A = this chain, B = another copy of it.
Amino acid sequence: MSKRIRLNAVEMACPLQDNAGMWQLSGNSADRYKDLDYWVSLAELLEKGKFDAVFFADILGVYDVYKGSRDTAVREGLYVPMNDPAYVIPAMAVVTEHLGFAVTSSLTYDHPYSLARKMSTLDHLTDGRVGWNIVTSNLDSAARNFGLDGQIAHDKRYERGDEFLEVAYKLWEESWEDGAVIKDRGERVYTDPSKVHDIGHEGRYFRVPGIHLCEPSPQRTPVLFQAGSSERGRAFAARHAECVFLNAMNAEETRYLVQDIRAKAAAEGRNPDEVLFFPKINPIVGRTEEEARSKLDSYLAAASAEGSLSLLSAWTGIDFSTFGADQLLGFIKKGEERNGSSYLADFFSRNHTGAEWTREELAKYFAFGGAGSLLAGTPEQIADRLEAFVRETGVDGFNIAYVLRYDTFSEFIELVVPELQRRGLVQSEYAPGTFRDKLFGNGPRLPESHPGRQTRTGAEATT
Contacts and interface: CB of A to CB of B under 8 A. Distances in A.
A270 to B, nearest CB: 29
A61 B196 CA distance: 14
A113 interface: yes
Contacts of A144: 207, 209-210
Size category of the binding interface on chain A? 35 or more
B36 A74 contact: no
A35 B211 CA distance: 22
Contacts of A206: 147
Given A91-B90, A120-B83, A76 B34 contact: no
Nearest to A122: B87
Nearest to A180: B74
A49 interface: no
A30 B24 CA distance: 50
Interface stretch (A181-189, A234-242, A362-370): A181-189
Given A70-B462, A111-B146, A141-B210, A16 B90 contact: no
Contacts of A446: none
Interface in A231-278: none
A208 B340 CA distance: 45
Contacts of A84: 114, 117-118, 121
Interface string A21-42: 1011000001100111001100
A409 B437 CA distance: 38
Contacts of A80: 191, 213
A140 to B, nearest CB: 10
B145 A208 contact: yes
A35 B81 CA distance: 32
A192 interface: yes
A69 B463 CA distance: 8
Nearest to A211: B62
A296 interface: no
Contacts of A111: 109, 146-147
Given A81-B191, A109-B114, A209-B144, A126 B36 contact: yes
Contacts of A215: 34, 81
A188 B24 contact: yes
A91 B39 CA distance: 11
Interface in A193-207: 193, 196, 206-207
Contacts of A71: 193, 462-463
A77 B75 CA distance: 51
A23 to B, nearest CB: 6
A94 interface: yes
A383 interface: no
Contacts of A40: 94
A462 B69 contact: yes
A89 interface: yes
Given A83-B117, A190-B77, A36 B209 contact: no
A459 interface: no
Given A94-B91, A183-B31, A193-B71, A208 B147 contact: yes
Report the 6 A-B pairs with minimum CB-CB distance, sorted nearest first: A77-B190, A34-B124, A90-B91, A81-B215, A83-B121, A71-B193
15 contacts: A24-B188, A36-B127, A60-B114, A60-B213, A62-B211, A71-B193, A80-B213, A81-B214, A82-B117, A84-B121, A87-B125, A90-B90, A94-B95, A144-B207, A144-B210
Given A70-B211, A77-B191, A83-B120, 13 more contacts: A35-B124, A36-B90, A62-B213, A69-B463, A87-B121, A88-B90, A90-B91, A91-B125, A141-B210, A144-B210, A145-B209, A145-B210, A188-B304
Interface of A: 13, 15-16, 21, 23-24, 30-31, 34-36, 39-40, 60-62, 69-71, 74-77, 80-84, 86-91, 93-95, 109-111, 113-114, 117-118, 120-122, 124-127, 141, 144-147, 176, 181, 183, 185, 188-193, 196, 206-211, 213-215, 217, 304, 462-463
